[in-house]
Structure 1
Amino acid sequence: MPIVKIIERFLKALEAHVDLFFKSARYALGSIIMFGVAPEYFGLWLVWRGVSLMLPHWVFQWGDDKLYSLYQRMVLFFFETCTRLEVVLYGDAFDVLKKRESVLYLGNHQSTVDWIVADMVSLRCGSLGHLRYVMKDTLQLIPLYGFYFHVHGCIYVKRGKFSQSKMISSLDYLKNPKIPTWLVVFPEGTRYYPGHPKVIEKSEKYARDHNIQVLKHHLVPKVKGTWLVTEHLHEKIDAIYDVSAFYEGSVNEEGIRGNAPQLIGLLMGKCKKIHIHIRRIPMSEVPKEEEALKTWLHNLYIEKDALAENFFSKDKETRASVQTRLGGRPHSLGLWSTLSSFLVFTAITVPALCTKFGRQLYLQLLVYGTLGGYGWLALRSVC
């Protein structure tokens, strides 16, 4: 073999290893910082909670939303800015960017990073701090954040043991007209994950048994949580944002759909482009009765299924031309919109960990804050 080819192979292998090293370093650094700043974030929240105790609760929520936005911008610094992820928007996206309203965000569910898509959309709409999620009860176990999510306005629900009264109690808090809200619901309940075909088969069987259309790219949506939100916040919410996210690279060369990139994969830059389609539906068009909403929601997912076929088609040319055919337009964030938050948390963390007092306070906030949060959630029995 000529020496030139040997050198070329060596350089390509070296380049691949260097690229993997930097991606792995980005994942490690990002994970350490995003979870590592939890005590500092919790400390900032405690200070604000103390300062705002004698103020109206909407004032506390205003400050809390600012803190939440600060943290989530840092999340996007790692997941979007550092990975150089290209975000392409479709549908009503550029119209909703101009609006400032309370919304029910209905998203398709296929990845552990679908919540970050909500970050991407809401930041571009100037509403990042207003994000609140209907989320699985097991997320209560995340140290510090598990407690914080609830006080921020997120709603925990138990799969299989859904408590309607407790969800209504949480929704009542969000009725306050002075608390803007983006309430995120994933009606499918769990992820559409080709790697776990039994979940998909169960959904398809349910559709056949109930004589409704089988979905090709989604699970049959569950209506209970969505109905409670629309019923109790119908006057508060301005519109539903029907959001469909499609991660490029989910379909292989043979045209077979695989698993969407998960948290580690996205952070390591394995997904270069994400397509986000947004459809704005005024609340006046949304049924209030549960059975009518159930039919409406399934019809909505039939439409989402048809849209998804453009991105998951077996035909390579169909997938390659989707951006042009559907009028997708890239929309990038300014560097400062995410870098600023990273610098703020760096400025708080580095000096604190360089002093004995700072390290002691960090550990105390981590340990006692976590235990206190667990105790509070258990006593309140929030779901």
Structure 2
Amino acid sequence: MWWRFILLSCLRFIFVAVNNVYSISSHFFLLALASPLKLIGYGQTYDKIEEVLFGWLLSQVGVWIYTAGYKIYESGDPLPLGKECLFMPNHQSTADVPYLMALLASKPGIAAKIMWIMDKIFKYTTFGWVASAHQDFFILAGKRCREKSLVDLRNHLKTVFIAKGRKYLVLFPEGGFLRKRKGVSHQFAKKNDLPLLEYCTLPRTGALEVILDVLNCNSSYKSYINKIVDITIAYPEGKPLDLPTIIIGNRPPCTTYFHYRVFDIESLPKDVEELKKWIYNLYIDKEKMLSEYYQTGVWPHQMFNSNSSPPKEMIHDGSYYVLIHFFFIFWFSVLVFFIRTILALF
């Protein structure tokens, strides 16, 4: 009945809002308590605390997805856990980031050591505040800012990714949501005699070129990328979920596929133009997979590799989620007590 749906949606919204308040407040409270470590020469200990808290925060998003009945199925090449990786997903909607958060937080050791590269507009969201403290990189879109953003990215990789021993990067090569980028992608494709893509867009290569230049295996730096993990995200019926849908749960339970193709960095073309052709072909392959899935309803996980692993549901550890929630709730209660004590003095 309609009233039951509205009631459940309101309850979910309240839960997510309250979860944000106590989790993020506790996160920054704990970082404030740990900040003196940086002043007495224990900056690395502070960084480890921040990384662990960051990973735990990402796991909170998994609860939103799991409790709404939205399942993730993984297929393709095995993820090279423990290897330094660049994750490159296609970008369709505001649901991509929370889905990736839930996915990566479920993999041991990844969430804490990851660096996100995202549009600067996300800096002004609640996740953006946390990402800023984690020193993720916010890139400015647009031709005017492109060159400066790439210079800033190069410096950021050296001063943060390498200096802090990060191991994983997340980059959206398309540079924006599908609905916003499709028109520009079609114009570019027509000018350069490339296929017109409907379910993804032709990627931009500037950020990838910078990453490979700074973090390639022949780099003089200690940190470098070993693997590229191409991720194809496929929503049911080609209709992407979005963040409000995840929060409210107003869409029926459904399955979203994540398909992995893993490439060794050394196998990539060294020439810039050849690298562009390689990544364009990668996204043309994505288009073929998505097109067949949306037309047939069957996920073609063996389209490009007959040994590809079949779809397998990502399992959520409910007890782990409960423990993390109680951890943040406890520290939020400490924060409230601290604030009340301070106010009582005046």
Q: CA deviation at 1:286?
A: 2.1
Number of the residue aligned with 1:62: 48
Number of the residue aligned with 2:225: 237
Q: CA deviation at 1:288?
A: 3.8
In structure 2, give the amino acid aligned to 1:128: A
In structure 1, give the amino acid aligned to 2:241: P
Number of the residue aligned with 2:234: 246
Give the stretch that moved more between structures: 294-303 or 334-343.
Answer: 334-343
Residues 227 and 45 of structure 1, relative CA distance in 2, 3 Å threshold: same
Which of residues 198, 201, 213 is equivalent to 2:195? Answer: 213
Which of residues 290, 309, 320 is equivalent to 1:308? Answer: 290
Number of the residue aligned with 1:366: none
Number of the residue aligned with 1:125: 107
- Structure number with greater Rg is 1
CA distance in structure 2 between the aligned counterparts of 1:63 and 1:203, rounded to whole angstroms: 42
Which of residues 248, 264, 277 is equivalent to 1:268? Answer: 248
Which of residues 85, 99, 108 is equivalent to 2:70? Answer: 85
Structure 1 residues not aligned, in runs of 5+: 1-12, 252-256, 362-383
Number of the residue aligned with 1:150: 132
CA distance in structure 1 between the aligned counterparts of 2:203 and 2:260, rounded to whole angstroms: 18
CA contact (8 A) 2:87 2:170 kept: yes
CA contact (8 A) 1:243 1:276 kept: yes
Which of residues 181, 186, 189 is equivalent to 2:172? Answer: 186
Which of residues 315, 319, 323 is equivalent to 1:332? Answer: 315
CA deviations on 1:339-370 (whole Å, 9 max, x unpaired) are 22111111222454367526969xxxxxxxxx
CA contact (8 A) 2:22 2:332 kept: no
Number of the residue aligned with 1:46: 32
CA deviations on 1:154-186 (whole Å, 9 max, x unpaired) are 111111212122111101034538613221111
In structure 1, give the amino acid aligned to 2:68: T
RMSD of the alignment, in Å?
2.7
CA distance in structure 2 between the aligned counterparts of 1:295 and 1:239, rounded to whole angstroms: 18
CA contact (8 A) 1:188 1:220 kept: yes
CA distance in structure 2 between the aligned counterparts of 1:354 and 1:188, rounded to whole angstroms: 46
Residues 111 and 359 of structure 1, relative CA distance in 2, 3 Å threshold: farther
CA distance in structure 1 between the aligned counterparts of 2:341 and 2:185, rounded to whole angstroms: 51
Secondary structure of 1:134's partner?
strand
Q: CA deviation at 1:153?
A: 3.0
Aligned residue pairs: how many? 326
CA distance in structure 2 between the aligned counterparts of 1:65 and 1:309, rounded to whole angstroms: 38
CA distance in structure 2 between the aligned counterparts of 1:238 and 1:300, rounded to whole angstroms: 18
Q: CA deviation at 1:285?
A: 1.5
Asked if 1:353 corresponds to 2:307, the answer is no
Q: CA deviation at 1:272?
A: 2.2
CA distance in structure 2 between the aligned counterparts of 1:294 and 1:99, rounded to whole angstroms: 27
Q: CA deviation at 1:190?
A: 0.9
Secondary structure of 2:297's partner?
helix
Number of the residue aligned with 2:124: 141
Give the stretch that moved more between structures: 289-298 or 223-232.
Answer: 289-298
Q: CA deviation at 1:211?
A: 1.5
CA contact (8 A) 2:235 2:257 kept: yes
Secondary structure of 2:230's partner?
strand
In structure 2, give the amino acid aligned to 1:265: T
Number of the residue aligned with 1:72: 58
Number of the residue aligned with 1:166: 152
Structure 2 residues not aligned, in runs of 5+: 218-223
CA contact (8 A) 2:59 2:102 kept: no
Residues 113 and 130 of structure 1, relative CA distance in 2, 3 Å threshold: farther
Secondary structure of 2:178's partner?
coil
Number of the residue aligned with 1:109: 91
CA contact (8 A) 2:89 2:230 kept: yes
Q: CA deviation at 1:17?
A: 2.5
Identity of aligned residues (%): 16
CA distance in structure 1 between the aligned counterparts of 2:84 and 2:161, rounded to whole angstroms: 11
